[in-house]
Chains A and B, each alone.
Chain A
Amino acid sequence: MGKRSIKKVLVANRGEIALRVIRTCREMGIETVAVYSEIDRNMPHVLNADEAYHIGPPPSRESYLLIEKILEVAKRAKVDAVHPGYGFLAENDEFAERVSKEGLIFVGPSADSIRAMGDKTEARRLVSNAKVPVVPGTEDSVESAQEARSFCKEYGYPVLIKAVAGGGGKGMRIVHKPEDLPQLFSAAQSEARSAFGDSRVYVEKYLERPRHVEFQILADQYGNTVHLGERECTIQRRHQKVVEETPSIILDDAMRAKMGMTAVLAAKACNYQNAGTIEFLVDKDKNFYFLEMNTRLQVEHPITEMRTGIDLVAQQLRVAMGEELGFRQGDISFYGHAIECRIYAEDVENDFLPSTGIITHLKPSQGLGVREDRGVEQGGEISVYYDPMISKLVVWGGTRSEAIERMKRALREYEILGVRTNIPLNLFVLQHPKFVSGDFDTHFLANYYRPELLEKTTAVGRTAAAVVCALLHDRALSRGSLQQMSETMPNSRNEVHSMFPSQNHVLISKWKQQRINNMRS
């Protein structure tokens, strides 16, 4: 304990979060070390770090999840601290412990806190002892569907099967009918095993029409624990958050204060230090229940930063250095409204299948109140090995409606090709009357989303697209025939190319020229 300075940080992550951490480190004059798997050599987190080291082949189990490898790099690069980002090793207590044992600072909570909150059944026990309300559920993990049945009988369906080591909706299944229990139970177990290496699951009562509201916590080692307000994360698909906003439209000041205080109690129950998030479920009568604590920086943390002006990564680093929080609860002010849309590489018209491939064109939105956190650029690949999130588009507005309008504008401005994205789905959400009025629950997408409801191309847009494609095809065909020609007549190659400057020319008159060439060949 006590104060220690951090001059060099290893960022044990990839993609947008690694870049996010590197940016703040730069601003604080802290040197950064990136690690990368074979296919991430050209990724922005490598390009923007002060140093970068290869740690293995693409599968995360053989690279980003290898504690030994990462510690080896930490020692070799002589860092003072390790920032885990989110995902990968961020909530791995063994990793936090090993980092500390090497005499390095783990930028996050203690291994004990991670352990306590990482075991979801243990966490529920811990916070309910601190008088924090929890959703009714089995006290321990259950081994079989048979064993789960007695709980289901007592509390009634629907129930939720959740991974004890869970997070991010992985290894989670809702069961509505007793006959579905065996199949969904084993599906949850197998997904839990592959996502966390731990197949244990437990059962919880599933709340009707729940909303998901979480509170950002910051805590230092001197016993100061504050909350930075809530994030409304109700818009989800298969338990994956899609749109997040702050403030939540359902909270008034009194409820916010009460939930915030409860969140602080829950964090204190595990002696929490650093940044963390307390997730609550809120039922239709506005009762709230502790769901879990995420002992790391959250994907959606930027909306809190936009609304409070507080850089959460900077706070994480300061707390890790043993500094006292520079503010108390009463000092934190909130401004306006912030929304985040996660841009995933998936096909929203085709069962949300992941869409992999090279991003062939990318031009993100800009302008007033727009922030984009992204860890891949044009030419980069969305591979099967990692999370399909391409980018986090974040906007700030003076009011909720201003923020919604701004987000719609930013989504429409976003240019991306090469992989399919869920931008049309985000637009669907932001324009839906139920979203606009604030009357939604976690079933919003399941209840309202249908691919045929997505915005269509306008008639004039379709005309324009048809003509552009016809022209490109015309050009491709004449290129093809010209290529054949130049193969037989190597000397003509230069001449051929000069006839087809690819930039800034009026294409419309080109077809004539191409026709002549076609005739020649």
Chain B
Amino acid sequence: MSEYTVNFADGQHIVSFEQDGSLSIDDQVVPIEIQQTNEHTFSVLVNGISVKVIAHKSQDAYQVLVDSVQQEVVVESERERLLKAYATKGKAARHRYEVHAPMPALVVKVEVEVGEEVKVGQGLLILEAMKMENEIKSHQGGKVKKILVAEGKTVEKGELLMSLE
């Protein structure tokens, strides 16, 4: 048997492929048949109900399109799950919050200073991308610890912009 934990944004499912070729989801056997019809397209028949799933792997997750909803799904094998649990064990959860650039952009304005107390929803900085200005707001209250960018600088997607404590 091989078992996978499939994590959606709003919950997880355990998918197991049994020795006898059957498949169960969250411990329930589901009659399911799957065909890959092209590179990213899967035709899934669940009890006769036809579902089209478009999926492919991106860096650490799977991009999935089903029922016109795009989702990011993270899948872990038992081994991976155990390894991860081991790796994070002992690391005290620090109350630190990092702000990363959600897209490649130009820093138009930094709205806070180091040491400043910010509230949830407060604007931290303004990024310009695709000719539009987007304000990056704080998802968490705290004190600005570090600011790693300056106005006029271009940043890459995922780049660390500032950290809060």
Contacts and interface: CB of A to CB of B under 8 A. Distances in A.
B75 interface: yes
Nearest to A349: B9
Contact of A351 (B33, B40, B41, B134): B134
A233 B18 CA distance: 54
A508 interface: yes
Nearest to A194: B128
A460 B64 CA distance: 14
Interface in A332-383: 350-351, 353-356, 360-361
B75 A360 contact: no
Given A417-B54, A473-B4, A468 B103 contact: no
* Size range of the chain B interface in the assembly: 35 or more
Nearest to B73: A469
Contacts of B4: 469-470, 473-474
A505 B36 contact: yes
B33 A506 contact: yes
Given A190-B108, A355-B103, A417-B40, A471 B34 contact: yes
B18 to A, nearest CB: 9
Interface string B1-27: 010101010000101010001010100
A443 B57 CA distance: 38
Contacts of A461: 51, 53, 66-67, 69
A134 B62 CA distance: 52
Nearest to B128: A194
B132 to A, nearest CB: 7
A473 B131 contact: no
A416 B17 CA distance: 29
A412 interface: yes
Contacts, number: 185
B36 A360 contact: no
B70 A421 contact: yes
Interface in B27-79: 30, 32-42, 44, 46, 49, 51, 53-58, 62-71, 73, 75-77
B157 to A, nearest CB: 7
A195 B131 CA distance: 6
Given A361-B54, A386-B130, A468-B53, A418 B63 contact: yes
Contact of B6 (A191, A470, A515): A470
The listed residue with most B CB atoms (<10 A of its CB), out of A190, A353, A454, A502, is: A353
Contacts of B2: 474, 511, 515
A158 to B, nearest CB: 20
Contact of B68 (A350, A388, A412, A506): A412
Contact of A458 (B40, B67, B73): B67
Contacts of B35: 504, 506-507
Given A474-B17, A476-B57, A477-B77, A416 B103 contact: no
Nearest to B22: A508
B56 A417 contact: yes
A378 to B, nearest CB: 10
Nearest to B38: A503
A47 interface: no
B73 to A, nearest CB: 5
A465 B71 contact: yes
A382 to B, nearest CB: 9
A466 B103 contact: no
Contacts of A412: 67-68
Nearest to B12: A466
Contact of A469 (B64, B104, B130): B64
B23 A508 contact: yes
A472 interface: yes
Interface in A481-521: 502-509, 511-512, 515
A470 B53 CA distance: 13
Interface in B100-114: 102-105, 108
A38 interface: no
B130 A354 contact: yes
Contact of A384 (B6, B37, B129): B129
The listed residue with most B CB atoms (<10 A of its CB), out of A187, A456, A462, is: A462
Contacts of A437: none
Contacts of B73: 465-466, 469
B133 interface: yes
A465 B77 contact: no
Nearest to A170: B131
Contact of B65 (A387, A415, A460): A415
A11 interface: no
Contacts of A351: 134, 137
A466 B32 contact: no
A447 interface: no
A477 B2 CA distance: 12
A457 B130 contact: no
A508 B33 contact: yes
Contacts of B129: 354, 356, 384
A504 B65 contact: no
Contacts of A147: none
Given A462-B8, A474-B2, A509-B21, A468 B55 contact: yes
Contacts of B65: 361, 415-417
3 nearest A-B residue pairs (beta carbon): A464-B44, A470-B15, A473-B75
5 contacts: A354-B129, A356-B157, A456-B69, A463-B13, A465-B55
Given A466-B15, A506-B33, 15 more contacts: A354-B129, A384-B105, A417-B64, A461-B67, A464-B32, A465-B8, A468-B53, A469-B73, A469-B75, A470-B15, A470-B75, A472-B57, A473-B62, A473-B77, A511-B17
